[in-house]
Every structure is written in C-alpha cells, then in structure tokens.
C-alpha cells in the first residue's frame, strides 16, 4: 500500500482505504489477505504490476523465506513484517522448547534398558562385605 499510494499520502491523517479480503490462504490472518481496492481502479499496467508483485510475494517469496530459502525471485522485495519475523525465528536468544532438548523413547525399550542395568548393578551390601574382609580396622585408644 505504501509503495502504491506513496509515502506522502500515507503520512497524512484520515487516510481511508477499502480492501478486498482474499479467502486464500485460509489459515492466514486477515491483514495478510487484504488487497487495496485502489489497485483495481488504477490503469491496466499499474494494476498488473502490483497484482503480479502481490501474487509472487504471497505464493513464492514469503513461503520460501519462512522455509529459510534465499530469495527465489530477487526482483520482488520482501515485506517489512517478514524481515521482523525472520529475525525472531533465527534469533540466537530464542528459548528452546523442552521437546527440542529431550527425545521420547519407546516404553518397551526403556523397560529393557532398566532390566539390564539392574542385572549389571552390584548390591551395596554385597560390596560392603568385600571391603570389610580386605581392609583391617585399627582402633586407637584414647590416652588419659
């Protein structure tokens, strides 16, 4: 809209613009599906240019950028909001999810591993008897 109407028109108070809301993509917010009606009322060449740019952005460049693919169509710039979203997505300070840190394992595999560990583990009491026989204790008498 800024590119189409120009910066001087956007800066003035009381801007009134009507939009056509596209129904595709279905899960996208309304703000991403809005097409200004003024584009359809402009000349044929201007209308074709902006509708082509809009379609290329919505169909090709925005999904590619969100999948970390470099600009497939270099002549069509990314929208400003997309740069912000990409910076947030690729941020180093982003908190990780707990599912990213830990992996889930099969319950049967977990039970088998526990049984193997129990077999390999030596009982503490058995270990204590071995140390008593090999080490002699020396007791000191207190001198008065």
Following DSSP, what letter does each residue of 78-122 receive, concatenated?
PPHHHHHHHHHHT-TTPPPPHHHH-----HHHHHHHHHHHHHHPP
Question: The pTM is what?
Answer: 0.49
In a domain, 141, yes or no: no
In a domain, 119, yes or no: no
Greater model confidence, 127 or 80: 80
Q: How many CB atoms lie under 10 A from the CB of residue 35?
A: 16
Report pLDDT for 13. Answer: 73
- DSSP structural state of residue 77: P
In a domain, 104, yes or no: no
CB 20 within 8 A of CB 37: yes
Measured CA to CA in angstroms, residue 33 lies from 7, 20, 47, 86, 140 at distances of 22, 8, 17, 19, 89
The tokens of 20 are what?
A: 């056509």
Strand partners, 19: 36
Report pLDDT for 126. Answer: 65
Q: How many CA atoms lie within 13 A of 143 on its CB side?
A: 0
In a domain, 135, yes or no: no
In a domain, 35, yes or no: yes
Count of structural domains, the chain: 1
- List the one residue out of 67, 5, 62, 78 whose CA is nearest residue 29: 62
pLDDT tens track for 66-93: 898 888 888 888 888 888 888 888 887 8
In a domain, 15, yes or no: yes
pLDDT tens track for 17-61: 788 888 876 777 887 777 778 888 888 998 898 888 888 888 888
In a domain, 36, yes or no: yes
Q: Which residues contact 55 (CB under 8 A, 6 or more apart)?
A: none
In a domain, 16, yes or no: yes
The tokens of 57 are what?
A: 């952005």
Query: For residue 41, what are the domain limits?
Result: 2-93
């Amino acid at each position: 809209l800024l590119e189409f109407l120009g910066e001087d028109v956007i800066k003035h108070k009381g801007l009134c613009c009507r939009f056509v809301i596209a129904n595709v993509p279905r899960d996208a917010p309304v703000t991403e599906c809005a097409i200004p009606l003024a584009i359809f009322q402009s000349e044929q060449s201007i209308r074709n240019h902006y509708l082509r740019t809009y379609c290329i952005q919505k169909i090709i460049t925005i999904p590619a950028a969100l999948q970390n693919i470099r600009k497939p169509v270099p002549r069509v710039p990314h929208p400003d909001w997309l740069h912000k979203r990409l910076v947030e997505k690729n941020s180093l300070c982003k908190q990780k999810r707990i599912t990213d840190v830990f992996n889930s394992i099969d319950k049967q595999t977990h039970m088998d591993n526990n049984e193997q560990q129990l077999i390999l583990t030596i009982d503490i009491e058995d270990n204590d008897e071995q140390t008593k026989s090999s080490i002699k204790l020396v007791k000191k008498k207190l001198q008065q």
